[in-house]
Chain A
């Protein structure tokens, strides 16, 4: 009896452990790629875009490279006239949508008019809100002229291609939409892949688009699984269930060294649009005193934070705009780590009686080691003579609006090459961030420079204006950049052609098996 039971148990365990058919075979058949991402890269028919740009189902007019420079996608070239009041985009020839119809200037214009009609609208990826204002806020008219797309603007805009890059200039076939602007069915784009199956929150299955203008992609099918937990993603990679991890936050900083140390995997680290900033509450003491803001700035060892706490996935911050902004990032601006000078400044200004509050959001502690960074900041401030405490809040907006903070640690990004966005939305005297969160930053010279830079169409003059703006901010210190964050992604050594732009977009069409 006992022997029978033992045999039965062994058979049962054997059946379970050999897979019951649920396990992926170790070597996948050619032409199929399985990736995993922390979030669902398909948002569904009620989202303005339906899918993320990374899936390669649709393409924009303009995209960005790894330095946030606007580069051609469906538009091959562009030109401005009337000092930036008129922009014309020439389209790539011979492009067809996945339903076989031809891409025309009229279809591009129809897509842009749809955006304008349905905004503001939230999205899982990039809400049709602030970005729309940046891209289309000054557009008086958009029309198709001689096979090209022409934008007529109310005011000069120096960097319209950069502002349109990515989601803001998504192109899909007009047949994909109903009259109200919702999706009529699946997305119909021009990208290397089409969406063939989607299980919400679980996986998206893509098939090669036979009409793609760049030729057929190397993989016939790409499956992108959703694995929200960071450890589960790496476990799936190590178990051979997926061939790579992509998208924003694919690998946490603490995971990179271990994964990169495994010879079977290739980690691609590329700079991202994300920067960790420290925002001062200068509308009250102690940081209304510029000397104490400088003291806090000098007390922070940015290199240690970037190299140790962020595990080398970030570089120490200096200028307000990170190096991904290319020549707009101010060169030669270095931040000093000088705890001795910091102590002198605190002694001169007088240390506050109450500890200063370092505020962090609980929502961000999962992705970045903000609890550790905040503790290091607290220790650094205390060494400089500024007593400090750390507060973790879920709703940081409410805390900040109540003025109940002195320093706020958070990460911000720009979705495209729109440098104006950060200054206008965060720091201008009337910026919602500045006013509502009580930053207390008022500098008419800064406001004027921001307005001039936004309207300046001469590239060199505009660059110089942005450099002046950043030098001004380095002196005023309303917000200081702590570290510029990379976005590491990983694939097995069998997948080649992996590139990621600064906005976390991986070109799936360029991925190919390594023979």
Chain B
């Protein structure tokens, strides 16, 4: 187990360093002049002197490598720089948005895990029942519908039609329901497909049949024995779904005006606010790598075969 942690830790450091180079290069080499874009935000053509002054202030007149080293040394000291759009500290911007993203990601993950778990067990217990067939059909349909379409339908029916929940914004505890459902349904469809297939496979294994033959209740056989064996693939997929959610569900956050890091990133990209974009990609990358590493540790804890690899 210690070996897994050490190996993962080294890989993580290497991944983050590579990520930092990619993040900085890709955002810095994008065409256009951020200083000019930022000065033109009011729709007014900037003066040449204004652009030169702002480029100097942002350090854009320095060589790329110098800028990268300066940025990296700041990042290592926990200083992600200041927003070019309004000069506020980037770390403060991210921290202010993180609770909303965590809340949405948590709620969406809950919806995905509970829905997929309940549905998968239901299908495994009564594979030929009409309800199980309906679940299979809905799963396929949900997997093919983009989350923003689900979101638009939910807004139209629940928020505008029934006026039961807010259309968007973080304006109260109920506000998280629709965006979480939108994201959670998409995640549930992915997890359910994996879990259903693996449960069907593991239910046919001899030891499960033996348990049934010895008189163990079907529900207990599936939930305790078969589900545990079927879990690893779904657990890996859940890790990836969670990593995506933590990186900020950009489309859904925009659709629901959810004030998370995804919306922050969209605004920053529109404004050419590179320090925010760089910090966002870096944090999203770190979250993804960490969640995937954590998933592997969980798998290793559950499955001795993974530990031996």
Contacts and interface: CB of A to CB of B under 8 A. Distances in A.
Interface of A: 16-24, 26, 43-44, 46-47, 120, 122-127, 129-131, 133, 167, 199-203, 225-229, 231-232, 235-236, 238-241, 274, 363, 393-395, 397-398, 411-415, 421, 425-426, 432-433
Given A20-B177, A227-B168, A239-B167, A432 B38 contact: no
Given A241-B167, A363-B270, A394 B32 contact: yes
Interface string B15-54: 0000000000000001111001011111111111110011
A127 B167 contact: no
Contact of B257 (A26, A122, A126, A228): A228
Contacts of A202: 169-170, 259
B160 A432 contact: no
Contacts of A274: 43
Contacts of A167: 42
Contact of A129 (B39, B166, B264): B39
B62 interface: no
Contacts of A395: 30-33
* Band of interface residues on B: 35 or more
Given A120-B49, A123-B41, A130-B45, A23 B169 contact: no
B74 interface: no
A426 B85 CA distance: 25
Given A17-B158, A231-B152, A239-B163, A226 B47 contact: no
Nearest to B176: A22
Contacts of A199: 259
Interface in B150-175: 152, 155-156, 158-160, 162-175
A18 B93 CA distance: 33
Interface centre among A130, A131, A432 (most CB of B within 10 A): A130
B212 interface: no
A287 B41 CA distance: 30
A220 B54 CA distance: 40
Contacts of A26: 163
Given A202-B169, A239-B159, A395-B32, A229 B254 contact: yes
B308 interface: no
Given A227-B257, A241-B167, A23 B172 contact: yes
B44 A120 contact: no
Given A17-B164, A120-B50, A398-B33, 15 more contacts: A22-B173, A44-B86, A44-B88, A46-B87, A122-B54, A123-B41, A129-B44, A226-B257, A228-B254, A232-B254, A239-B160, A274-B43, A363-B270, A393-B31, A397-B32
Given A17-B158, A19-B164, A398-B31, A225 B169 contact: yes
B256 interface: yes
6 contacts: A46-B87, A122-B39, A200-B96, A232-B256, A411-B43, A415-B42
A91 B50 CA distance: 32
Nearest to A133: B47
Nearest to A123: B42
Contacts of A238: 160
A44 B82 CA distance: 14
A127 B42 contact: yes
